Structure 1
Amino acid sequence: MMLSNRISTFLRLAAPEQQWQQQRGMATLKSISIRLKSVKNIQKITQSMKMVSAAKYNRAERDLKQARPLGIGTKVFYEQAEIQAPPEEPKKLVIAVTSDRGLCGAVHTGVSRYIRDRLLADSEQRENTKLICIGEKSRAILQRQFANNILFVASEVGRKPPTFNDAAQIAIQILNSGYSFGSGHIVYNRFKSVVSYMIDDLPLFDKSAVLNAPKLSMYDSLDDEVIQSYLEFSLASLLFYSMKEGACSEQSSRMTAMDNASKNAGEMIDKLTLTFNRTRQAVITRELIEIISGAAALD
């Protein structure tokens, strides 16, 4: 009788502790299960984004091949005519070509950092330089230190493939801004391969710099009106070309980033699944031990 009372007392005292251990085990399993489910959902999203980026990349690469002659032709003209920045006009213009969309690695931050480092290295140049941000990503970075240098921002870039009309609208806004500059640069990402791109820049010059070019005479029938028309067209052409290069680099980088994210999610899923199984096995083993210990105590 006394032994039976002791066993009953032991079971009553041990019951709250056993119940707490079961609840703790179930809570741990539930938290792991919730996290595992969320990681699986993230993996589905990254895999879908990779497929979408792959389709957009194929189109962007085809469009880039058609747009390259516009940019390369203007760049060759500047080089062969040996056009230089006029020393009497210190004002410069820098155009950062990015987009509004992220999740594509360091495509946008690379362009912004390149411009930031050049401006910080030369205080005089920083005072005489105006910035134009194509895309909200470059604006978000450059406005922290150069808010007064930003002339305007072109938003709604990157959701659809860039067109020549988009570049022409930006060029018109630059010409109508009232800011006169002697020279400038378009900073963009030049596409090299699916896994490689590099930051490059294209030169910009005003009308006086072109008229004073040493080898401009090699081109026939170039009067002031023709040069002005060509400069307006070349500005839109360079913007269109750089935007196509940037769009192709962005899609390839996003495709690579989403592929890496999917692989990382897969590794995390494997680790969480292993942790979940080990925890569940530990809970089952502990419950079996408690049952066996209780049965042994009754004997």
Structure 2
Amino acid sequence: MFARTSALVFLPQCGQVRNMATLKDITIRLKSIKNIQKITKSMKMVAAAKYARAERQLKPARVYGNGAVALYEKAEIHAPEGVANKHLLIGVSSDRGLCGAVHSNVAKAIKAKIATLTGEGKEVMVVNVGDKLRNILQRTHGNYLLLSCKEVGRKPPTFTDASIVATELLNMGYEFDQGAVIYNRFRSVISYKTDEKPIFSIDTVANSENMGIYDDIDADVLRNYQEFALVNIIYFGLKESTTSEQSARMTAMDSASKNASEMIDKLTLTFNRTRQAVITKELIEIISGAAAL
């Protein structure tokens, strides 16, 4: 009789401790997910405010980019085949993450261009604007990096920021024939596309056949225009990429908040079921103990 009573008392205690541990684990996990959800909701609100400001500033910034390449398009400027052996790629991203595939898409486009150009025997160098892009390219294409720019994305980009990047590039003295600024072009709040704008050296523009449609252009004027056009295109790329980044981050944080809500609902249901199982088991033990007496 004593042995049977010991068994009745001992076994339920182990089960109760095990269930209590499970309930405690679920409670801790629920608390953790709720805290994460608060963070993602806050980040979504911040991203939404930054996105609204970036979208307002994007429209006037597009005038800079489109105006800068207008001369290239109207004069049909392009580097002669077999002569343009040096290419410069300027990739625009930022220093901040949690924005989907914004940075990796630019890196993917740059890697594809490098593979194509090097396959044709061309020399390629890369200027990356943003630490995230540098981290991606450094692992596999570090030997192509010419210049890396940090402190991008913490504040809305300005024309001064673009001027600093262009000045650093020009001061390095790297001579290239043609190239491209690769960035994420904003399309809508849920959509963006990796795009590029062409850039050319002063010699390439000056020696273009179609430049004859314009009056004689002084060399200093052409040099100033080329430098100003480079700054404009970089500024345009920064504004487009910033708007795309903020919209992508807002979308990503919204998805993360919804996923957290789903996990909270599932864990709450699991918690209630586990707690109900513990209560039911305790009632059965009480009834069984009373019946044994």
Name 1:9's counterpart in structure 2.
3
Q: Does 1:242 align with 2:205?
A: no
Partner Cα distance (2:212, 2:268) in 1: 73
Are residues 1:92 and 2:84 paired?
A: no
Provide the residue aligned with 1:117 in structure 2: 112
Q: 1:147 — aligned with what? A: 142
Q: Could you say what secondary structure the match of 1:100 adopts? A: coil
- 1:221 positional shift: 4.9
* Aligned position for 1:196: 191
Q: Distance in 1 between matches of 2:119 and 2:163?
A: 31
Deviation of residue 218 (structure 1)? 2.9
What residue is the counterpart of 1:28 in the other structure? Answer: 22
Q: CA deviation at 1:144?
A: 1.4
Task: State the 1:76 CA deviation.
Answer: 1.6
User: Within 2, Cα distance between the matches of 1:161 and 1:274?
Assistant: 44
For the Cα contact (< 8 Å) 1:96–1:131, is it kept in 2?
yes
What secondary structure does 2:278 align onto? helix
Taking the TM superposition and a 5 Å limit, the aligned residue runs for 1:146-165 are 146-165=141-160
Which residue among 250, 262, 270 is the counterpart of 2:265? 270
User: What's the offset of the Cα at 1:190?
Assistant: 0.4
The separation in 2 between residues aligned to 1:122 and 1:14, in whole angstroms, is: 79
The answer to whether the Cα contact below 8 Å between 1:47 and 1:259 also exists between their aligned partners in 2 is yes
Identity over aligned pairs, percent: 54
CA–CA separation in structure 2 for the residues paired with 1:146 and 1:124: 15
User: 1:203, 1:295 → 2: CA distance?
Assistant: 87
Instruction: Please tell me whether the aligned partners of residues 118 and 124 of structure 2 are also in contact (alpha carbons under 8 angstroms).
Output: no
Alignment TM-score, normalising by the size of structure 2: 0.96
The corresponding residue for 1:289 is 284
CA apart distance, 1:118: 2.5
Deviation at residue 66 of structure 1 after TM alignment: 1.4
* Displacement of 1:222: 1.7
Alpha-carbon contact 2:107-2:137 (below 8 Å) kept? yes
Tell me, what secondary structure is at the counterpart of 1:215? Answer: helix
* Counterpart residue type for residue 206 of structure 1: S
What RMSD, in angstroms, separates the aligned Cα atoms of the two structures? 1.3
* Equivalences for residues 173-188 of structure 1 within 5 A: 173-188=168-183
For the pair shown, which has the larger CA radius of gyration, 1 or 2?
1
Q: Secondary structure at the match of 1:202?
A: strand
Question: 2:171, 2:83 → 1: CA distance?
Answer: 22
C-alpha distance 82-127 of structure 1, shift in aligned 2 (>3 A): closer
Q: Is the 8 A contact 1:83 1:212 kept in 2?
A: no
For structure 1, list consecutive stretches of 5 or more residues without a partner in the other structure. 1-5
Distance 1:203 1:121 in 2: 16
Are 1:119 and 1:125, in contact at CA under 8 Å, matched by a contact in 2?
Answer: no
The one of 74, 83, 94 aligned to 2:77: 83
State the distance in 2 between where 1:93 and 1:214 align: 22
Residues of 1 paired with 2:90 and 2:21: CA distance?
54
Secondary structure, counterpart of 1:99 in structure 2: coil
| 1:231 corresponds to 2:226 | yes
* Letter paired with 2:217: L
For residues 120 and 275 of structure 1, the distance between their equivalents in structure 2, rounded to whole angstroms, comes to 51
Q: Which runs of 5+ in 2 are unaligned?
A: none
Q: Which moved more, 1:39-48 or 1:80-89?
A: 80-89
Q: Secondary structure at the match of 1:145?
A: helix
Instruction: Kindly state the Cα deviation for residue 215 of structure 1 after the two structures are TM-superposed.
Output: 2.3
- What residue is the counterpart of 1:3 in the other structure? none
Letter in 2 for 1:142: L
Q: Distance in 1 between matches of 2:255 and 2:41?
A: 10
CA distances 1:154-195 after superposition (whole Å, capped 9, x unpaired): 001001000110100000011011211000011000001111
Aligned amino acid, residue 156 of structure 1: E
